[in-house]
Amino acid sequence: MKALSFHQPRAEQVIRGEKSVDIRTWQVRYRGPLVVHASGKRRDGRCLALGFDPDALDYGALIGTVELSAITPLDEAAYEALRDRHLLDGPFPGEPCYAWHLANPRRFAHPIPYRGRRRLFEVQLVGQDSILPSVGRGSTRPPVTHSPQHRAPYRVTPPPEPDPERPFVLYTIPDADGGYRVALYQWLTRNGEREKQAPGAMWGIELGGDPLRAVADHLLSALRASGHKATDLARAAGRDRPFYLDEPTGVRLALILLAVKPLARHDRIEAIGRGVQAMGDEEAYYWFSKCSAGPEARRAQKALRVLLAGE
């Protein structure tokens, strides 16, 4: 499949659908799908000037696809007429100048580390069929993406039937000492829609021991918020039927589990739980997208711990 590299934050603008024309000094005969590659070179000042946090962007990775629908030559008048689509703030660069028209942006479910090349280059996407809808103009909720390091198989056979209205699912898993762990999973998406059949693997995290006991109140609150009885948890260890959670509830619980998993101090664990529950929905979705996605997920989890509970 053909791919084209963009510096950040232009790659992010393309995959959000904000930038639908790219200006190049060269053209090709090819028309069709393009993989969007985010260059590994950072331009932090440019990102900040355009309103992007440079640490929140992907670098050196394939991040999604677009359709290259046309390439048209530009003069100064045509360049100015397309300014709200190419988003460049500089003057007409002179000829040769071509507008690459891009449509139907789709974000991969997780970025794929990849070294880019100049001009068009070939990539092979083995098994990369999970993509998310782009975040267009006017949207404030970032896409919820997923990292391969958090994909985990179901711990029961057969897996449950997906519930599109409650995309998070919570299992209790017996431990050898008579206690239990919890495993929280989330359905993957395909082409912007929930899977109609349960996939074999999906985003997931497990937690047990002292950290789980320290967040028990938040676990019970999540169950109640999704219509379950808190008393069901005590009888649930090892049952095949899971607890389904709605997305906002699942996002908050996932954030808490991700952040507290490596901790031992109860005061820090409690502070994180309180801090996550106090977040607004957009803030919670933002942190979940950073803490569950890509090679920077662990760094984001640490930043969240520092933010809510100090060193």
Report pLDDT digits (tens) over 97-153: 999 999 988 888 777 777 778 888 887 665 443 333 333 333 333 333 333 333 344
Phi-psi region of 106 (alpha: psi -120 to 50; beta: other; left: phi over 0): beta
Range of the domain at 154: 148-309
pLDDT at residue 292 in the model: 77
My answer on whether 15 and 86 are in the same domain is: yes
My answer on whether 279 and 242 are in the same domain is: yes
My answer on whether 165 and 295 are in the same domain is: yes
Residue 64 lies in a domain: yes
In this prediction, the residues of the chain whose per-residue pLDDT falls under 70 are: 124-164, 175-178, 187-203, 230, 234-241, 293-295, 311
Q: Which amino acid is at 186?
A: Q
My answer on whether 175 and 267 are in the same domain is: yes
Indicate the DSSP class of residue 30: -
Q: What is the pTM of this model?
A: 0.50
In this structure, are residues 260 and 24 in contact, taking their beta carbons and an 8 Å threshold? Answer: no
My answer on whether 160 and 73 are in the same domain is: no
My answer on whether 155 and 43 are in the same domain is: no
pLDDT at residue 63 in the model: 86
Looking at 92, 108, 133, which one is the last position of a domain? 133
pLDDT at residue 90 in the model: 86
My answer on whether 155 and 119 are in the same domain is: no
pLDDT at residue 196 in the model: 39
pLDDT at residue 119 in the model: 86
My answer on whether 231 and 280 are in the same domain is: yes
Task: Decide: helix, strand or coil at residue 60.
Answer: coil
Residue 172 lies in a domain: yes
